């Protein structure tokens, strides 16, 4: 299980969302940036704060041509309840086998489900990685800052 780094190609995957639709990273290729955040468990204090912070900033992500996607090993049904309770406008994916988490190396140093956020550009290249178990809402700030830095680095063609 290798940890992915800035500059690496983000591995494609296919996982079910809370609406039981299959979402692939490649669905966004050439269209949108993706903030892919792995989190430990629905309904826990830190994960709820993190999800709500992504929700509160979702419009800013949309304005940056970016889709937010959360991933944990919780079931589709649990994701449905969590998404509804938190009013989330983005997809939560169920990685029940933890294979995608392992593919991305998104575990903590202790082997438990880590809290890791990846900013992936429209070409599928990882542009930013942030890992912190104990600062869940900082993931949102860091992702937004990374998107701003990337936008400044790559001039707009519009």
pLDDT number for residue 158: 46
SS3 of residue 77 by DSSP = helix
Residue 2 lies in a domain: no
Percent of the chain exceeding pLDDT 70 equals 93
pLDDT (0 to 100) of residue 75? 97
More confident residue, 155 or 129: 129
Whether the predicted pLDDT of 156 surpasses 60:
no
**Residue 124 · residue 11 · CB < 8 Å:** no
Would 3 be classed as within a structural domain? no
Q: Report residue 1's pLDDT band, with 50, 70 and 90 as the boundaries.
A: very low
Buried b (16+ CB within 10 A) or exposed e, 45-60: ebbbebbbbbbebbee
Q: Is residue 110 part of a domain?
A: yes
> How confident is the model over 75-101, as pLDDT tens digits?
999 999 999 999 999 999 999 999 999
Q: Categorize the per-residue pLDDT at 151 as very low, low, confident or very high, splitting at 50, 70 and 90.
A: confident
Q: Flag whether 6 is in a domain.
A: no
What is the pTM for the complete model shown? 0.93
Instruction: State how far the alpha carbon of 110 is from the alpha carbons of 98, 104, 106, 107, 113, in Å.
Output: 15, 16, 11, 8, 9
Tell me which residue range forms the domain holding 129: 14-153
Q: What is the CATH number of the domain that holds 92?
A: 3.40.30.10
- Listed in sequence order, the residues at least 6 apart from 150 whose beta carbon sits closer than 8 Å to its beta carbon are 33, 119, 121, 127, 128
Structural domain contains residue 5: no
Per-residue model confidence as pLDDT tens digits over 12-57: 999 999 999 999 999 999 999 999 999 999 999 999 999 999 999 9
Domain count, the chain: 1
Which two three-digit tokens encode residue 98? 């933890």
Q: Which helix (H) or strand (E) holds 84?
A: helix 76-86
Tell me the pairing of strands 66-72 and 91-94. Answer: parallel
Residue 101, CA atoms < 13 Å, CB-side half-sphere: 24
Tokens of 52: 């709500």
Q: Which residues are catalytic?
A: 47
């Amino acid at each position: 299980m290798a940890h992915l780094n800035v500059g690496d190609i983000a591995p494609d995957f296919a996982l079910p969302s809370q609406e039981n639709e299959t979402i692939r990273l490649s669905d966004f290729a050439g269209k949108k940036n993706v903030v892919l955040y792995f989190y430990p468990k629905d309904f826990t204090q830190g994960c709820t704060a993190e999800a709500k912070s992504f929700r509160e900033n979702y419009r800013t992500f949309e304005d940056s041509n970016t889709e937010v996607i959360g991933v944990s090993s919780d079931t589709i049904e649990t994701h449905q309840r969590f998404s509804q309770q938190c009013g989330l406008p983005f997809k939560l994916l169920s990685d029940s086998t933890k294979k995608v988490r392992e593919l991305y190396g998104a575990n903590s140093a202790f082997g438990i489900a880590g809290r890791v956020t990846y900013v992936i550009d429209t070409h599928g290249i990882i542009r930013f990685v942030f890992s912190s178990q104990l600062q869940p809402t900082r993931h949102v700030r860091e992702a937004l800052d990374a998107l701003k830095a990337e936008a400044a680095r790559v001039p707009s063609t519009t």
